[in-house]
Every structure is written in C-alpha cells, then in structure tokens.
Structure 1
C-alpha cells in the first residue's frame, strides 16, 4: 500500500532520474556546439523534463527527511541545493539566449547536491577514504602481542598487556558494517554508533547496550535475528557481520563494554605463549543455545505466496488504516498482507477484531508492545495462513500458547519479553509447522528449553545468547 513513508523511501530511486536527464541536457548542448547541429528543441525538452523530475525528487526527499534519521545540518544543505538545482534547471529551460550561464550553474549545484546526498546515504568518506580512516585501519591491525611488554621479578615472568579493544577491534567493525546507517550523517532509528556517548544513549526505542550482558543488549541480539526480520542488523541486502565479528561484539559487551584502554598483568610460565587477538567464548556442542543449522526446506510461506488469493475488502483496509495499522503486500501482484500494530495508539480489542474480515489474506502479524491479553488471541484461530506472529512485550501468558496451537501454518513465533513459562513451552511441541521461536527475557528456564528441544529437535530456539558450536562433520552446514 502506497503511503507517505513509502513515497519518501522512493527518493533514492527518483533522484537518479533528474541527475541523468539534466547531465544529458548539458551534454546535448556541448554536442550541439561542437557539431553545429540544431538541437534546440531536444535541449529544451531535456532541461524541462529534468527540472520537473528534480521537483518530484525534492518532494520525496522532504518526506524522507521527516523521519529524523539523518543529520539535520547535512540534510538542510542537501535539501536547499536540490531545490536550487530544480530552480536553475527551470530557468535554463526558460532562457535560450544566454542558456550557457544557468546551465553551467545547474551542473555545479547539482554536483554539490549529489555530493551531500551520497554522504547521507553511504557516509562521509565513502568515495575517497581519509587519513583518519587509514590510520584507524592501521591501528586495528595491531595485535595484542605487539602491545605486550614482558618484565621479570623475583616470582618469575609477568606480562603487562595493554589492550584497547573498543578502539582497535570494535570500531573497525562498526565503521565497516554500521556507520553507513548509524553515524553523524545518518542515524536510522535515532541511533548513532560513532561515539561512546551516543552508543550509551541508544536510539528512539531506548538503550541498545547493557554492559556485561549481551543477551540484554540490542546492539548484539539484533545481529542474531534472521535476515528476514525487520529488526535484523545490518538490514537484508547490506554486508553482514561475520561470525567472528559477532563473537567479538559479544565478547566486548560481556567483558563490560569498556571504552577505555585496559592494562592486564598476567603471570606467564616459559611454556605458555602469549596469545594475541580476541578469544571466542567457551562453547559446548550440546549447548541448548548452540544449534547447528542445516539446510532448510522451502518454508510454507514461500509456497503460500505463489497461490492465488482474493483481494481484501477495501473498506476493512481503510478502517484499519484510520487506526494506524500498517498493511503492506507481501509481494507484488499478490493479495497476501503483513499487518503491523506497532504504531497503533489506544489499542483496543475492537481494533484487533477489524482483522477478521481479511483473516485469509494476513500472513504476518505484529502486535509488538501492545496491551494484548490472552482473550484477544482467541480469534486468531481463523487465521489459517498466518506464518509469523510477533507478540514481544505483550501481556500474554501460557494460556495464549495453548490457543495458538490451532494455527496450522505458523512458522515463526516471537515471545520476547512476555510472561510465558516452561508450562507454556510444552505447548509449542504440538505446533505442526513451527520452526523458530524467540524466548529472550521470558520466564522459561534452560531446563524447560531442553525438554522442548528433546520433543522437537527440529525447532530453532533463540534466547539472545550467541554460541558458536564446533562444526559437526556428520552434518552439512549452510551459511545464512
């Protein structure tokens, strides 16, 4: 469904049209001057079309800037140079006798607007690396062994190890994988990761770092979400962190997320070498959190979206939209929908009941943070095509898990931050197609999780604790 937010996101696509057309118009003028050909009509058309598309792009860009995810000062420069480009393009279209003057000005201002637009999208220094980035890369190449000093005393050898894990190990990862969306130029979700103060501050949805506890740090747990999840970081399509980089972030947080240099005095015997680098956490092959991932069969959702479905009632869609329920099509040309209640204010059971008329079309449902009760979920029994259900930070209990067992297509269930216990987990064993369940910060115990895995060894359980199991040579691994 096309809405204001979607139109704003079209800006990166729309903006390339006026750039290409305006530069083509300038090239036509140069070509006409060299060949002495009469291209006046074509040149005028190109300048007019380019200016018109520039104004459309400015409108979409203004909608995108309202999200507040970008640096205000840089957005303002980009915005005004973009508008000036559109205005100069219009002037060039109208003027013929001295067209070279506004044409030259248009190309110059267009270049400036494009430069700032590139910085907003990809981060500063994307095209040309600066000395600061180079020196940071050199610093990150230093190992702990190079920073170690061996001294002797009456008790034997000691190693004084100076390490700066945040500067030398964490920053390079953030710079390579996170700064393009979370830095001074662009701060999606209100989050910046380029300084200590901003990391501690968090984003629009609160803190992302709990020192000493990776399981309660979104900075780490969001790295573990499936790429299809809206909150997975980095977003799908972006360069993902390697397993070693994820383990490094986990280790840094678990050690206290220090932003300062650390000095350790280590007693060392002659046959104990100093091991440089960052060690991985101890891992066990039989850990309930360390699940070896095998190649998955095509999920039900993929098969479902290929089946024909009647169009949903437009009156119902309009009513839901008025209640700030976000409805988006799962794929172009298909009538299956994803329903998101995250932005719904003053949630009431009546709001939820409005979905009844489109229960066959709803494939994904997100009720995150809403005051949903067990009784509200009774009506979900009719949602036979529901494959993903997000109930994190709601008021549901074990009773809801008993009610949801009737859903034949449910594959992903998010119970993060709810009051479900081991009693509720036992109900999950009866879910016919369930593949993934999220249990961070619930009342479930490790023993209850083990019992569930024993009953359903095919189930993937995410508890927010990263474990990297040693490869099992009897199984074929697939890298997600």
Structure 2
C-alpha cells in the first residue's frame, strides 16, 4: 500500500472530527447567547480547529477518491459540499460580525455533505429504504403458477407419478437478494472495490481488476464462491472480517447457482417423480433443501451437527505462557513477518503475507517462539517439504495455513509431531491421498481445507472414517470454523 493510499484511508477517521468540532462550536454560541456568557475565545478556537480539520478531511477524501472505487457523481456531490463546508467554517472563524448566519449555513451544509458521504458508504437507500423489505418482496413467478405436468395436464400433487416442469429464475429470486444484502455496499454503482461490481449480469461477467470472478459450471474456479468459504481470517475472505457473514444456506445458494451454469435468465427445470417430495415441501411453504447439488457427492462432507467440546486452542489460551523474546520478535519483524498477540495473552499469530523474499532461515528464527506460536500462515510462499521440519518445535501451533505452497505428501509427516494442530489449510497444493493417510495420524485435527489438491473422493472418505469428527472442506460443502479468540492485538 502506498503512502497516498494510506492517507486516503484515513478519511473515514478524519471526517468525523470537523462534524463534532463545528457542531460543538455552534453549541457554544447558543449557550453563550442564552446565558449571556462570554465564550468568544472558545467559540473562535472551535471554529478555527473545525475549519482546519475539515481541510484535512477534504484532502484525505480527495486521495481516497483517486482509487476509482466510488461512483463519480456521488463523489463529486460529497466532495464539493465538503469543500464548501470547510470554506464556510473558515469564514465563520474570520468574520466574527457575520458569525451567526455563517455558522447556521455551515451546519446545514455540513449535514448535506455528511448525508452524501453516508450514501457513498452505505448506499443511497440506507437512510430511506423501500417500503417493502427485500426478503418480503413477492416473486413475479409464483411457484404455484410455475409447475405443470409434462403432458400439459394440471397436476398440483402429481398423482400420476409423472415428471414435473418447474420454471425457475434462480438469479433474480435467490442470488440477487443475497448479493444486495451482503455485497452491494462495496461492489455496486456506488462503490467499486477492486474495480468489481456485482449489481448486474454484465458487471458480474466482466469481473474486477484482478480478473474474472465467475466460471459458470465450476464453483471451485469462481472467486464469487471460493472467497466466501475461505477462513474468515484470510485477507481474501468475503465479506471482510467484521461484516455480516453469509449463512451456510446462502453460500450453498451461490454454489448451486454457479454449478448449474450461472444462468441470468428464467429456466425450465424437469423434476423427476423421486424429487417431488422436495417440491411438495416447497409448495406448502416449507424451506427447500439448499445444500449444494453435486454429482460428485463423495466430495461433499457434511459436518456433524452435534455440539463440539472445547477446542484445544481455547484450552491453551487459558494457560499462561511466558512472553516472547523481544530480540527475536524484532528480528522477525525486520523480515516483514507480521506478529499479532492473540486476545490478551502472550500467544502469537505469525503471518508471512508481506514477506517478499522467503527463506528457510526465517522459519528457523520463528521456531524460537515455538512455545508461544499458535497460528502460522505461510500462504503463497515457496515453502517446500524440506522446510517443514522447522515447525516440529512449534508445539502450541493450532492453525497452520500452507495453501499455495510447494508442499507435497512428504512434508506432511512433520505435522504428526504437532500435538495441538486443529486447523490445516492445504488449498492449492500437490497433496494426494497418500498425504491424507498421514493426516489420519493427527488426532487433534478438526478442520482441513483440501480444495484444488490431488486428493480423490475415496481418499477423503478414508480420512473421514479414520477421523469421524474431522470437518473436511473441499469447496463443495459447508464451511466449518473452529472457535476464534475474542480479540487480537498487534505487538
């Protein structure tokens, strides 16, 4: 991230300063007039400071607008009303004889500028949404009118055991409500983060500045789906950490839509007699089954719904551990390795995302923190099997991300020496069924990610049989996450 990008991202922080300070200045003026108290010095200070903070907010806002991720017309309205507010605040400070009319005009303009800014951030319909909530809007193709017998005879209960035809518009009726509720704030005409818009067929097909997000018929190669089921602490996970997340059923809707070809048009679906129980449930108002419809059903591993016991991680976090050696921490930070404290403990999370020149010595240095290190992310680094022995001393490790590394089956043998390992990400590696046999000897393992690996449905089934409580994510099932600590703090 460049310096200008960083300064631009300070705009949401800076913009609240003039709002509070200028309104405080107006409040002082009201109090001074009503109580006939001399507050002139305080009023002048407030308006001067408010004008200065408004100028700083405008500067940061201008830098933020250069990203091109926001609607140009809305940015223009917010920008010019903001500049006018800053100018009027300055005049209010200097022209004491006209302070009252200028102050009142500034307050009105400040409200308008703030409203435009809110529209940019939350969408134009945030303050005054439509009268009918999205979830309650009726479909223009009622289910009762869209089911007919193949031979043309009306047969609402399918008494003749014949195939039925159902007209469906999955994109309009199921996908759009999800995108609107969870994605439009950052990916629509108002705001185009990453150059991506998801508010129309053309823009979804176009993708963003990082390429296409949709591969019809292949959810595993569609970022629109795969980013939804990444671990929440992955920077690529969508929606971002802290935002309202999609439910498993909503994720399954996106998966099913893409798998069926990602059609943007109404379709006719033939329902065989064996499927009509599901159809009947829909017709009487029961929710349909929204699990992914995969022909490769062996790769769908549905986790048990039984309540899980306390995780190894939560147990470890409750135990005190000595503080990390500050010299080692400083050396690792010098290598651009991010180190974050977990909750209010001395346990650490290490992330190599900013490391530009990876080498094994970095892992050797990191192994000195083996007792404190609980999370390790090596995603996308050229980590090979020969490097994995450096992890053997990291006995507190509960989460390990090795996705998109050079790892093969041979390197997994080291992981059997990690007694507390609960979550393992092997996405995009050359691991095969042979490696899964090694994982079967990791009894603490609770979640493993195996998308785009060399594993087979048969190998996955054998692993599931060896570890019945293991939740396996292959990109076609529901996402499972272990318990997360309440808060993290950078050290």
TM-score range, shorter chain: 0.7 to 0.9
Give yes or no for the alignment of 1:453 onto 2:452.
Answer: no
What is the CA–CA distance in structure 2 between the aligned matches of 1:266 and 1:404, rounded to whole Å? 47
Alignment partner of 1:176 is 2:181 = yes
Who is 1:126 aligned against? 126
CA distance in 2, matches of 1:210, 1:153: 36
Quote the Cα distance in structure 2 between the aligned partners of 1:300 and 1:4. Answer: 43
Match of 1:257 among 246, 262, 267: 262
Inter-partner Cα distance in structure 2 for 1:461 and 1:261: 34
Measured in 1, the distance between the counterparts of 2:339 and 2:69 equals 22
- Equivalent residue, structure 2, for 1:431: 442
Aligned equivalents of 1:106, 1:352: Cα separation in 2:
57
User: Residue 149 and residue 39 in structure 1: after superposition, are their counterparts in 2 closer, same or farther (change >3 A)?
Assistant: farther
The corresponding residue for 2:323 is: 310
- Residues 446 and 305 of structure 1: is their aligned pair in 2 closer, same or farther, counting only changes over 3 Å? same
User: Can you give the 5+ residue segments of structure 2 that lack an aligned partner in the other structure?
Assistant: 155-159, 480-491
DSSP 3-state at the match of 1:389: strand
1:135-191 deviation per Cα after TM superposition (whole angstroms, max 9, x unaligned) = 996454643333567796699999775432212221112111221222222334443
Is the contact between residue 370 and residue 393 of structure 2 (CA under 8 Å) also seen in structure 1? yes
Matching residue within 366, 376, 399 for 1:355: 366
Conservation of the 8 A alpha-carbon contact between 1:88 and 1:106:
yes
How many pairs align?
Answer: 461
Q: How far off is 1:9 after superposition?
A: 5.8
Stretch of structure 1 that moved more, 397-406 or 218-227: 218-227
TM-score of the superposed pair, with normalisation by structure 2? 0.78
Whole-angstrom distance in 2 between the partners of 1:384 and 1:63: 46
Change in Cα spacing, 1:81 to 1:375, as seen in structure 2 (3 Å) is farther
Q: 1:287 to 1:354 in 2, by over 3 A?
A: closer
What residue is the counterpart of 1:409 in the other structure?
420
1:4-153 to 2 correspondence within 5 Å?
Answer: 11-54=11-54, 57=57, 69-71=69-71, 74-75=74-75, 77-79=77-79, 81-82=81-82, 84-129=84-129, 138=137, 140=139, 142-147=141-146
1:330 pairs with 2:342: yes
The answer as to 2:309 corresponding to 1:297 is yes
Asked if 1 retains the 8 angstrom alpha-carbon contact of 2:165 and 2:270, the reply is: yes
Q: Distance in 1 between the 2:369 and 2:18 partners?
A: 40
1:77-116 deviations in Å (ceiling 9; x for gaps) = 5455445544543443343222234423432332233123
- The structure-2 alpha-carbon separation of the partners of 1:377 and 1:76, relative to structure 1 and needing over 3 Å to count, comes to farther
How far has the Cα of 1:312 moved from its partner?
4.9
Deviation at 1:123, TM superposition (A): 2.0
What SS does the corresponding residue of 1:223 show, helix, strand or coil? coil
Cα 1:103–1:190 change in 2 (3 A) is same
Separation in 1 of the partners of 2:381 and 2:16? 40
Give the stretch that moved more between structures: 21-30 or 33-42: 33-42
- The two structures, once aligned, show a CA RMSD in angstroms of 4.1
Deviation at 1:382, TM superposition (A): 2.7
Against the structure 1 CA distance between its residues 334 and 77, is the aligned structure 2 distance closer, same or farther, given a 3 Å change threshold? farther
Query: Do the aligned partners of residues 64 and 308 (structure 1) sit closer, same or farther apart at CA in structure 2, a change above 3 Å counting?
Result: farther
In the superposition, the TM-score normalised over structure 1's length comes to: 0.79
Would the aligned equivalents of 2:353 and 2:379 in 1 still touch at CA under 8 Å?
yes
Checking the alignment, whether the CA contact within 8 Å between 2:410 and 2:435 is kept in structure 1 is: yes
Structure 1 pair 48/195, CA: closer, same or farther in 2 (3 Å)?
A: same
SS of the aligned residue for 1:113 comes to helix
1:203-229 Cα deviation digits (max 9, x unpaired)? 454433221123333322343445455
> Matched residues in 2 for 1:73 and 1:213: separation?
37
The aligned counterpart of 2:191 is: 186
C-alpha change, 1:16 and 1:412, in structure 2 (3 Å) is same
SS, match of residue 117 in structure 1: helix
Identify which of 246, 252, 263 aligns with 1:241.
246
Contact 1:152-1:158 at 8 Å conserved across structures: no
Check the 8 A contact 2:379/2:405 in 1, yes or no. Answer: yes
Q: Could you report, residue by residue, the CA deviation over 1:386-437 in whole angstroms, capped at 9, with x for unpaired residues?
A: 3222111111101121122222332211001110011111111222432211
Contact 2:332–2:362 at 8 Å: present in 1 too? no
TM superposition shift of 1:379: 1.5
- Tell which deviates more after alignment, 100-109 or 450-459: 100-109
